[in-house]
Structure 1
Amino acid sequence: MRSLAYCMEKAIHNGFTANFNVMDGLLYHADSGKSYQPDQVHVVDFYRFEGVSDPDDNDILYLIRTNDGRRGTLADAYGIYASQDVGEFFIEVEDIQKKKAVAD
C-alpha cells in the first residue's frame, strides 16, 4: 500500500496540480476561486488509506478533472472524521472512476 504523500506526489507529477476544497455544496479551486457543480466534476481515480496504528486515521485522495480541463486533488478523512460537506458533494458526482492498480 502506498502512502498518501506518495500518491499526492505522483498525482502532481502526472499533472494533477490544482488544489480543491468543498464549501457550500460546490468544489472550489483554491487559487482562482472558480467553483464547480457536481455535474462539472469527474473523479479520475481515488485512493483510500487506512492508518496502521490507529483505525481512526483514515484518508481518501480524489484525483479530479473539471469540465474546463483543470486537474487536481482533494484529500479528506473518511469514516468518523470525514467532512460532511465533502461527502455530500461527492455523493452527487456521477462520474467517479476507479482505475485498476498498475505497475509504476
Structure 2
Amino acid sequence: MTRMYHYATVSKALDQLHEKGFTCDFNLNSDLIKKNPEKFEIVHVYRYEGESDPGDEAVVYGIKSTSGKKGVYVSGFSADSDQETAKFLFDLSIKGR
C-alpha cells in the first residue's frame, strides 16, 4: 500500500525515510528501476510544495525492491529534472494504490 505524506521540506521527508531504513539513492540507479519495474514497489510518497515558486515542488518516493533493498528517489518539477523517470515513478505509484 502506498502512503502519501506532506512535509515542510524535502530534507525532513528524507530524514523520515532514512529512519525507516530507506538508505539507497535510487536517483543514481534510475535505469535499474526503469528496466525492472516488477522488482520495485513504491511504499511511501512525500510531496513538497514550494510556497511561491512551482519550480520548488518535489516528490520524494520511498522505494523497496523485491530483494528487500530500500531507497529513495527525489523527483523535482524543474526544467532540468528527469521528467521521463518522474512520470514512470508516478505511474508506478498509482498502480500500487
| Separation (CA, whole Å) in 1 of partners of 2:55 and 2:90 | 22
Query: 2:65 — aligned with what?
Result: 66
Decide which structure has greater helix share: 2
Paired residues for 1:1-104 under 5 Å: 1-21=7-27, 22-23=30-31, 26-27=32-33, 37-78=36-77, 82-90=81-89, 93=92, 95-97=95-97
Structure 2 counterpart of 1:77, one-letter code: G
Shift of the alpha carbon at 1:80?
5.3
Cα shift at 1:19? 1.0
TM-score between the two structures when normalised by the length of structure 1: 0.69
Higher strand share: 1
How many aligned residue pairs are there?
Answer: 88
Identify unmatched segments of 5+ residues in structure 1. Answer: 28-34, 98-104
Could you tell me whether the CA contact under 8 Å between 1:45 and 1:96 is conserved in 2? Answer: no
Contact 1:45/1:63 (CA < 8 Å) preserved in 2? yes
User: Percent identity at matched positions?
Assistant: 25
| Contact persistence 1:51–1:57 (CA under 8 A) | yes
Q: CA RMSD in A?
A: 2.4
Rg: which structure is higher? 1
| Contact 1:61/1:76 (<8 A) preserved | yes
Unaligned runs of 5+ in 2: 1-6
Q: Deviations over 1:49-96 (max 9, x none)?
A: 111131221101000000100001010113755422313432553653
Q: TM-score, normalised by structure 2?
A: 0.73
